[in-house]
Amino acid sequence: MDQNQVFDEMWGREENLRAPYGLFKSWFDGEEPKRLRAKQREAEELFRLTGITFNVYGQAAAEERLIPFDIVPRIISGLEWQRLSKGIEQRVRAINAFLYDIYHGQEIIKAGRLPERMITDNDAFLPHMIGVQPPGGVYTHIVGIDLVRTDDNQFYVLEDNARTPSGVSYMLENRETMLQMFPELFARNRVQRVENYPSDLRSSLAACAPSVAGSSPTVAVLTPGIYNSAYFEHAFLADQMGVELVEGHDLRVIDGRVAMRTTQGYKPIDVLYRRVDDEFLDPLNFNPDSALGVPGIMDVYRAGGITIANAPGTGIADDKAIYSYMPDIVEFYTGEKALLENVPTWRCSEPDSLAYVLDNLSDLVVKEVHGSGGYGMLIGPTATKKDIAEFRKKLEAKPGNYIAQPTLALSTVPVFTRAGLSPRHVDLRPFVLVSPNKINITPGGLTRVALQKGSLVVNSSQGGGTKDTWVLED
């Protein structure tokens, strides 16, 4: 990729310092590199002491790693954030409307805006949800919208995370770490707060409680357990919200309610923030071998006895083939053109698109429709001939499993290195809370950074790191 074509968020394209970074740059220039290197080591030690780790799968045994953190913040102006927020809110409203529609009237299919096979042939579509009315009409209580930037005013949605978006604990810990190490920076810059996310999350979840709940709904977080890659986050959020962290064996159905075991006996739960996939949620309704879920919870849910966040069946909204229809989906349900653009996408299930993709594999990014975490993808420009040849066979065998996109010139943000500031590619995952009467978008989100020079892969599972994301007041 030609680095001259890459937009740098600190320097733009003409090596002129951009306004949001003005106060940071003057501070940075006055700092001793030796002190900053010590602060970088201190940050790593803080993460280690806090236990901010994640598990990497796919090896002989799961490997626990410390997520790398860079001390140079990513800075977004208040005006930029205003524009982004409008597009994010529009998209999240459309996703919720789409989920209601496909599990009820399927008007978008009747109108010819979405092929029926995109639903009927999709493993993420959950027939158990047909006709179910979630409390408050909310399907996606917590959403993560992955964004990439290519120019001063050009952001693209890379993907929608509508089932169990992760990473918010890193956003919060990144901010706490920066506040602890560089309080003088926050005194100079008017940075919007993210620290109230846990209380906002609890309030938003409580507002989605079913009608059987009392005036003070009981909320709990359901985790698959300590061996899950995001267990740190599950425990962190439960602790920060002041609610119970439970596993499937802590819960049972009693008198038409889901109840958790306590020292005073079983207590009904009104809202369950689950971090367990649909397939494992209820062994009576889904995978009978699952020991992670709660037998009968879907029956309680369908009867209105509990809120499950996010609702079962929401995974179809972050399917990458459905993603390719999102501009149509937004327009169909909002009556407006999408404010945030999709990355141009070829659906390999379509013969003409497949032919184009096969002819241009070395220039494209090819992703599994249900893939996540940077696994199962091909980045053509950095792939070897052998990689491309092997991927071609997979693509020809099951073309419907893949979509392809152009290789975007992702923006860069400086990271701190021994040589000073050096550009690295980034993406952004803002977090959105949805309740019946409110959509709350946390200012900033999780910036993931590709720490290897020139790399476009930002996922922590693939060697990426994180940064604190600042949204300025103005």
What does the pLDDT look like over 83-92, one tens digit per residue? 999 999 999 9
CB 465 within 8 A of CB 448: yes
pLDDT of 41 higher than 50: yes
Single out the residue of 139, 445, 135 nearest to residue 278, CA to CA.
139
**Strand ranges (DSSP E) for 25-141?**
53-56, 63-66, 69-76
pTM tops 0.75, yes or no: yes
Domains and CATH numbers, the chain: 3-343+408-471 (no CATH), 344-407 (3.30.1490.270)
- In Å, what is the CA distance from 199 to each residue of 144, 165, 169? 18, 18, 13
The dihedrals phi and psi of 163, each to the nearest 5 degrees, come to: -95, -70
> What is the tens place of the pLDDT at every residue in 194-245?
999 999 999 999 999 999 998 999 999 999 999 888 898 999 999 999 999 9
> What is the tens place of the pLDDT at every residue in 395-420?
999 998 899 999 888 999 999 998 88
pLDDT of 138 higher than 50: yes
User: In the prediction, which pLDDT does 464 show?
Assistant: 84
pLDDT of 465 higher than 50: yes
What is the CB neighbour count within 10 angstroms for residue 120? Answer: 10
Which one is predicted more confidently, 431 or 320?
Answer: 431
pLDDT of 166 higher than 70: yes
Q: How confident is the model at residue 371 (pLDDT cuts 50, 70, 90)?
A: low
pLDDT of 115 higher than 60: yes
Tokens standing for residue 191: 């940075």
* pLDDT, the chain, mean: 92
What is the CB neighbour count within 10 angstroms for residue 295? Answer: 16
pLDDT of 61 higher than 50: no
pLDDT of 57 higher than 50: no
- Which residue type does 179 have? L
User: In the prediction, which pLDDT does 173 show?
Assistant: 93
Ranges 58-72, 154-168, 355-369, 420-434: which has the least confidence: 58-72
What is the CB neighbour count within 10 angstroms for residue 105? Answer: 10
Peptide bond into 310 cis (omega under 30): yes
Work out whether strand 446-449 and strand 244-246 pair parallel, antiparallel, or are unpaired: unpaired
User: In the prediction, which pLDDT does 327 show?
Assistant: 96
pLDDT of 63 higher than 60: no
User: In the prediction, which pLDDT does 47 show?
Assistant: 82
Q: How confident is the model at residue 68 (pLDDT cuts 50, 70, 90)?
A: confident
Single out the residue of 260, 276, 274 nearest to residue 228, CA to CA.
276
Average pLDDT over residues 146-175: 94
Q: How confident is the model at residue 267 (pLDDT cuts 50, 70, 90)?
A: very high
Percent of the chain with pLDDT over 70: 94
Burial class (CB in 10 A: 0-12, 13-18, 19+), 191: buried
Q: How confident is the model at residue 4 (pLDDT cuts 50, 70, 90)?
A: low
User: In the prediction, which pLDDT does 230 show?
Assistant: 87
Which one is predicted more confidently, 143 or 383?
Answer: 143
Single out the residue of 156, 152, 159 nearest to residue 340, CA to CA.
156
Tokens standing for residue 40: 């970088």
State whether the Cα torsion 351-356-361-364 is positive or negative: negative
Q: How confident is the model at residue 54 (pLDDT cuts 50, 70, 90)?
A: low
